[in-house]
Structure 1
Amino acid sequence: MTSVQQARQALGGKLRTLRVSVGLTGRELAGRLSWPASKISKLETGKQAPTEADVVGWVGATTGDEQDSASVLAMLRTMESAYAEWQRLLGGGARHHQSTWAGMERRAARLRVFEPAFVPGLLQTAGYARHRLAQAITAFGAANDIDDAVRARLARQEILYDSRKRFHFVITEAVLRYGLCPPELMLPQLDRLVAASTLPNVRLGVIRFGTPFIIGPGCGFWIFDDRQVIVEIFSAELTLTQAQEIDLHEKVFGAMASVAAYGADARAVLTRVMEELRSTLPDNDDVGATTP
């Protein structure tokens, strides 16, 4: 279940509480609002999201309390702002989306990132970034501005050299092994990760295969200071700002970080994968680079 579905169910639960508090059945409330009874059920179970007019009508037909109305409307608006379809996000082109992320990163002093499947954007090479962005453009039918988008993604990486900022990345070993780009492009990407792990304000953790997970790795997420969490799922980018959501993701990140390898141990994983990948190439004398 996604956070959006959970939020919709929580909102439905709040509406049900208001109805029950004044002793109305679902059918009685439907009669007061001139709605089909099925709509009451769908709203309360989270199968349908209410409109603001629905919320105002519901509260007016139950408690009539302005504070109840303000509370439920706040829940609704938080849920709506958290869910932004990829098609809309990419409507202005992939480059525009990269610029939006750059702004969020510039405003943050501390970034914590967990990625179970992809190399984080701030650590991507141009070759890897091009393949990832091409996949998104194809999947969502976005405008093909890939050259500008790649440049914008690489420009974001300048903040890694800002000594005032702190970055903590945790990735799984699967990130290193998924065939998301050709091997000859993945080799320099792995070398890039080795180099990034040596930056003084960057911590890079790798969760090795065979490591027992405290919490199973789900979707990736970015924690910006203690202000917000961005979660990427297939159909949307979720922006979470409620304290309990941020606290939960901080706990998950802590669990992931606690089982990751760092420093020389992380670089040993990276270089081992690089050597294995090099051995699969027909002519591997001058492909990629290895770091001792």
Structure 2
Amino acid sequence: MALEPEELAAARDDLGAELRELRRAAGLSGDRLARRCSISQSKISKIETGRLTPTLVDLDRILTALGATAEQAARVLQRAKLANTEWQDKRTLWRKGLETRQSELKVLESAASEIRFFLPTMVTGLLATPAYIKASLTHSPGDVSSTVAKKIDRQAILREGTRSFTFLLTEQAVRWAILPPGGMAAQRERLLEVSRWQNVRLGVIPLGVLLPRGPMNTFTVYDDRLATVEIFTGRLAFRDARDVKAYRELFAMYEEHALFGDTGRDQIRAWGRS
């Protein structure tokens, strides 16, 4: 299914409109529907007008109360999947300011208890040295000094001890040279240091390891409520429970093939010598 940005933006309104039409076809007022499914009338109104995206549990209760057919329910659930997907294009992120994105990420990280990062191409900002962060932003427009500072500031969350982090890096992510040899050596030392912290698990996947699925995109999973996926032109955010579950399962598959602890650290050191 192609996820056009315009389609994603309209999905919430379309979902609300379809639920409203189903309610009217069932001959129910918003108040009667609310009583039938034990959801407040104000919440029903917000869902129908596109001001609120319903959870899958809410949808199940509403569709049951409406006596929706299997075909109607499938159509509504497909719209719900789109409504729970957000597209952020790179140009919009640049217009808002990259430092704004760092503030948003800090809020996401602070609200989560378990965060999983799959890094097939490069080191993420939470693990990066200042030099690596600056080099990774050379393609970005304008002065990036504020963004670099905010990325470094975000790293403090790794030492708070109130949440757990798992980072999976492929060999390419560790070895991709965006700095001269001395800078990359410092970056490897940073990975070795962070890998020893109490609430951090850092695993590496060497080239040549037999994997059933290729590492296509960088993605991050926040608990069981949100998954974000990065591509060259922007970022997708998935809130549909089925999508988040799929990314958690994908992460678990890669995790089974990663090297952790002393074995992983030995591998990072070996890459530095080769």
Please confirm whether the aligned pair reaches a TM-score higher than 0.5, indicating the same fold: yes
Separation (CA, whole Å) in 2 of partners of 1:120 and 1:65: 50
Displacement of 1:90 in angstroms is 2.2
Q: What is the alpha-carbon root mean square deviation over aligned residues?
A: 2.9
How far did 1:52 drift? 6.7
2-side partners of 1:248 and 1:53: how far apart?
22
TM-score (normalizing by structure 2): 0.73
Structure 1 residue identity aligned to 2:199:
N
Structure 2 counterpart of 1:98, one-letter code? Q
Give the Cα–Cα distance (whole angstroms) in 2 for the partners of residues 218 and 53 of structure 1: 28
Aligned 8 A contact 2:185 2:272 in 1: yes
Which amino acid in structure 1 is aligned with residue 220 of structure 2? W
Cα 1:73/1:223, change in 2 over 3 Å: closer
Residue 219 of structure 1, CA deviation? 0.1
| Unaligned 5+ runs, structure 2 | 27-62, 64-71
Compared CA separation, residues 75 and 221, structure 1 to 2 (3 A): closer
Matched residue, 2:232: 234
Q: Of 109, 114, 139, which residue of structure 2 is paired with 1:110? A: 114
Answer whether contact 2:119 2:219 (CA < 8 A) is retained. yes
Counterpart pick for 2:100 among 96, 100, 107: 96
Which residue is equivalent to 1:274?
272
Matches of 2:12 and 2:166 in 1, distance apart? Answer: 43
Q: CA contact under 8 A between 2:116 and 2:165: conserved in structure 1?
A: yes
1:196-228 Cα offsets, whole Å, 9 max, x none, are 110011100000121111321110100011110
Distance 2:12 2:133 in 1: 43
User: What's the TM-score once normalised by structure 1's chain length?
Assistant: 0.69
Are residues 74 and 243 of structure 1, via their aligned partners in 2, closer, same or farther at CA, if it must alter by over 3 Å?
closer
Partner of 1:78 in structure 2?
Answer: 84
Tell me, what secondary structure is at the counterpart of 1:119?
coil
Contact 1:90/1:96 (8 A) holds in 2: no
Q: Per the alignment, do residues 232 and 54 of structure 1 end up closer, same or farther by CA in structure 2, a change over 3 Å counting?
A: closer
Aligned to 2:217: 219
Q: Which residue of 2 aligns with 1:120?
A: 124
Q: Tell me the equivalent position of 1:254.
A: 252
SS in 2 for 1:101: helix
Q: Deviations over 1:220-277 (max 9, x none)?
A: 100011110011011121110111101110111001000000111111111112223x
Aligned pair in 2 of structure 1 residues 49, 164: CA closer, same or farther (>3 Å)? closer
Q: 1:53 to 1:127 in 2, by over 3 A?
A: closer
Whole-angstrom distance in 2 between the partners of 1:116 and 1:52: 31
User: Does the 8 Å CA contact 2:114/2:222 hold for their aligned counterparts?
Assistant: yes
Superposed displacement of residue 182, structure 1: 2.2
Q: Could you tell me which amino acid in structure 1 is paired with residue 204 of structure 2? A: V
Q: Which amino acid aligns with 2:134?
A: R
Instruction: Classify the secondary structure of the residue corresponding to 1:211.
Output: coil
Q: How far apart are residue 74 of structure 1 and its match?
A: 4.2
Listed as ranges, the matches of 1:159-170 within 5 Å are: 159-170=157-168
Partners of 2:215 and 2:131 lie apart in 1 by: 26
State the identity %. Answer: 27
